[in-house]
Amino acid sequence: MKTLFQTWLLTCLLYLQANHTAFAQAEPGNHFDVNVSLSSTDALSIGMRYSFGQNDLGINIGCGLPRRHAVLVIPSISYYRHLWGKSKYTEVMPWYLKAAGHFTYSESELTRGNISDTRRAGARLYLGRDFNLSSRLVFSTAIGPILIVFEEFYNNHIIRNRMTAGTDLMIFYRL
């Protein structure tokens, strides 16, 4: 568990370092957002996005509800491309496509001393819409397919690729 958190933290730091030049030379319309979301892939998550023009790059860390003898951690990275529509509060178009990748790690104690872990990786392509409640507060929803490209559990039992439907509900605040 500690290693997974360290990996996620290192990924976030590398992401910020790689984009340092873009952040330092940001145009007036560019900004960061912080978000809280409920998602079929990220569970309950918090994150941040960097918006530039009609594009956003985001990172989230999700988790399941706290349970005794169980852990669920889901880091993800997303790219948003706003394509059409108009908003009263911002120049960013409200309709967008979202491409994202995620990795899920869960650990649970099935019986005393018998710990099982599950790993899953997937990608998703969503169609979504931002509902601007003000110039800073936004509610967003998205829906689309999720492709599970890897899933391993119970002593290396691997499930083949599969596709399922997913959805995101998000509230974010523009800084």
Residue 99 binned pLDDT confidence (cut-offs 50, 70, 90)? very high
> What CATH number belongs to 31-174?
2.40.160.20
104/149 Cα distance (integer angstroms): 12
pLDDT recorded at residue 28: 45
Q: Is the pTM of this model over 0.75?
A: no
DSSP letter assigned to residue 133: S
41/102 Cα distance (integer angstroms): 8
pLDDT recorded at residue 42: 79
| Radius of gyration of the chain from its Cα atoms, rounded to whole angstroms | 17
